[in-house]
Amino acid sequence: MNNRYYITTPIYYVNDAPHIGHAYTTLACDVIARFMRLDGREVMFLTGTDEHGQKVEKAAANAGVAPQAFTDKVSQNFRSLAQRMKYSHDDFIRTTEPRHIKASQALWKAIEASGNIYLGAYEGWYSVRDEAFFAEEELVPGPGGKKRAPTGADVEWVKEPSYFFKLSAWQEPLLRYYEQNPLAIQPDSRRNEIVSFISGGLRDLSISRTSFKWGIPVPGAPEHIMYVWLDVLANYLTAIGYPDTDSPTFKRFWPADVHVVGKDIVRFHAVYWPAFLMAAGLEPPRRVFAHGWWTVEGEKMSKSLGNAIDPNVLVDRFGLDALRYFLLREVPFGNDGDFSQAAMIQRINSDLANDLGNLCQRSLSMIQSYFAGVLPKPEHLSDRDKTLLEQASMLHQTVAASVSRQALNDALQEIWRVVSDANRYVDSEKPWTVRKTDAVRAGTVLYVLAETVRQIALLLQAFIPDSAGRILDQLVVPADQRTFAARSSQLVSGVTLPKPEGIFPRYVTEETGAAK
Ligand code: ME8
């Protein structure tokens, strides 16, 4: 088995306040990174902030401060969010760091040395919000007869000397690469989109600007600054030591296993980025996974609508694990989703409080009250006992396959299938009745349940780490027995379990007035 795993988030523009959309991407990566670590891999999980470009320069000017002072301040919002969300990232990169400036200039030089850069002049449309060039035919009509980018952003006419990247020369190599590596862009719908974009013909790409200053100087031509996307994409190399391609870290982690991005920025990651890399003599990433877009109560999230959801507020109200669970369970990873508090409360109450919470609480409470908290010894195992135990121990295999496809919602559904089976098992085995006539059988049933809960909680550590950790605490599973390799060991009968505490509270809302 390949024992290393390199996963990245997009690195976010510092001009925006972080919202639930940014939190979502990093959260998904965090789950995958934790899962891979628990599965014995050496993981590199990278996130960070994108601090150069015209958009940030304008935002700094509006705030009346120098760009560096501005980015120092606002990038802190993303670092604070990362702390609050307890992401397990191994590195937080900022594109204004000297290590990144060095790496992106080295990447430029490598591309230049291969003959893929030439000097010309750019004349055309540019969208500052997207930091992207658009061809005339891509523009759409906007209000007042003004043209707009397909994303709805304003465009301006730009005319300036510029270096170009020979993107047109990479059309065939890219198509070949995607033909040979059909999983290199996921989901399939995104791959089809990108392949048809490439097949439509690629134009050379303007990769330097001269009309503003906030960026990384082009090596040997400091009156130019590097196009912000070339600068920022290089972050994935910077963090593993580029340009030192002989270093053990670089050799170990490149190519990245997956760049997780939102669907808005697939073209940059799946067209420009692999072309830059191939031109520089480096391998393209193994996969770009593009997830869908969150709206809020049916509306696009935006500053002007004032409806951007602050993840901190949700963590305060519902707790971190409930937010993690909701975002990953509600929508298949790759699809769009709509955020609503009602949907979140519904998920928390039904899946966390009712299904998982009840399973843990009733199994552990019965051990407490019928066996004074001492984990009973299983005696003769019935077919039903064996079936449930086997389902629980086989779960790792199916969940691992789903996580390696980034199918996080499938992974949770698979776990919850066993949670439901275990709840049905308690209902039909009725240990509360059986114990009156056959304490040994009731003890066996409770052991089987505790062991099933252990298997479930081991896997859930990647998704809802605090809650899963507390379940394992209640089962007295030692710290060194919490990796997936330990799943083949079993709970030890005779151990005294602490008095169980409820882990997932139910939410009562004024609207529902329901459930207490
Ligand atoms: O594009 N729903 O940064 P960015 C889901 N700096 N995800 C969302 C979202 C939403 N409503 N809104 C944002 C950039 N995202 C560049 C990236 S990478 C080398 C450079 C997430 O701050 C989603 O992952 O605009 C999207 O791709 C990313 O935030 C864009 O962040």
Instruction: List, in sequence order, the alpha helices (H) in 272-382.
Output: 273-279, 311-318, 320-330, 341-347, 358-371
Q: How far is Cα 360 from Cα 394, in angstroms, rounded to an integer?
A: 20
512 pLDDT exceeds 60?
no
With respect to residue 479, please indicate whether it lies within any of the assigned structural domains. yes
Distance (angstroms) between ligand 1 centre and the Cα of 197 equals 21
What does DSSP say about strands 117-127 and 156-165: parallel, antiparallel, or unpaired? antiparallel
514 pLDDT exceeds 50?
no
Q: How far is Cα 68 from Cα 71, in angstroms, rounded to an integer?
A: 5
Average pLDDT over residues 21-28: 97
Distance (angstroms) between ligand 1 centre and the Cα of 262 equals 6
Cα→Cα distances 465→174, 203, 461, 482, Å: 39, 46, 4, 11
| Domain membership of residue 345 as a residue range | 340-488
Q: How far is Cα 263 from Cα 402, in angstroms, rounded to an integer?
A: 20
Least confident of 233-237, 300-304, 353-357, 380-384: 300-304
Question: Sorting pLDDT into bands at 50, 70 and 90, what band is 510?
Answer: low
Q: How far is Cα 356 from Cα 505, in angstroms, rounded to an integer?
A: 11
Nearest ligand 1 atom to alpha carbon 269 = 19
Average pLDDT over residues 282-299: 95
Distance (angstroms) between ligand 1 centre and the Cα of 151 equals 13
pLDDT in tens, 88-122: 999 999 999 999 999 999 999 999 999 999 999 99
Nearest ligand 1 atom to alpha carbon 49 = 6
- Give the chain's mean pLDDT: 95
Q: Supply the Cα-derived Rg of the chain in whole angstroms.
A: 26
57 pLDDT exceeds 70?
yes
With respect to residue 75, please indicate whether it lies within any of the assigned structural domains. no
Phi, psi of 233 (to 5 degrees): -65, -30
| Residue 119: both structure tokens together | 């000097």
With respect to residue 376, please indicate whether it lies within any of the assigned structural domains. yes
pLDDT in tens, 478-506: 999 999 999 999 999 999 999 999 999 89
Q: What percent of the chain has pLDDT over 90?
A: 91
CATH code (residue 411): 1.10.730.10
Q: How far is Cα 264 from Cα 130, in angstroms, rounded to an integer?
A: 9
Residues ≥6 apart with Cβ < 8 Å to 281 = 110, 114
294-296: strand order across its sheet: 299-300, 294-296, 337-339
122 strand-pairing partners: 160
Nearest ligand 1 atom to alpha carbon 300 = 11
With respect to residue 293, please indicate whether it lies within any of the assigned structural domains. no
With respect to residue 466, please indicate whether it lies within any of the assigned structural domains. yes
Nearest to 358 by CA among 503, 196, 149, 167: 503
Ligand 1 pocket, Cβ-based, cut-off 6 angstroms: 10-13, 16, 21-22, 24-25, 50, 232-233, 235, 261-262, 264-265, 293-294, 301
With respect to residue 392, please indicate whether it lies within any of the assigned structural domains. yes
Q: At what angle do helices 408-429 and 358-371 cross, to 10 degrees?
A: 40
Distance (angstroms) between ligand 1 centre and the Cα of 22 equals 6
Cα 511 versus chain centre, distance: 32
> What pLDDT shows up at residue 310?
94
Look at the block and give the residue holding tokens 């790792």: 396
Residues ≥6 apart with Cβ < 8 Å to 201 = 168, 171
Q: What is the pTM of this model?
A: 0.96
Least confident of 137-141, 200-204, 436-440: 137-141
With respect to residue 501, please indicate whether it lies within any of the assigned structural domains. no
Number of domains in the chain: 1
Task: Evaluate whether 234 touches 107 at the Cβ level (below 8 Å).
Answer: yes
**Using the 8-state DSSP alphabet, how is residue 37 labeled?**
H
> What pLDDT shows up at residue 221?
97
2 pLDDT exceeds 80?
no
Average pLDDT over residues 217-244: 97
With respect to residue 420, please indicate whether it lies within any of the assigned structural domains. yes
> What pLDDT shows up at residue 511?
56
Q: Whose CA is nearest to atom 30 of ligand 1?
A: 12
> What pLDDT shows up at residue 513?
52
Nearest to 377 by CA among 367, 392, 387: 367
pLDDT in tens, 158-211: 999 999 999 999 999 999 999 999 999 999 999 999 999 999 999 999 999 998
Question: Sorting pLDDT into bands at 50, 70 and 90, what band is 17?
Answer: confident
> What pLDDT shows up at residue 281?
98
Nearest to 482 by CA among 7, 38, 15: 38
Task: Evaluate whether 151 touches 248 at the Cβ level (below 8 Å).
Answer: no
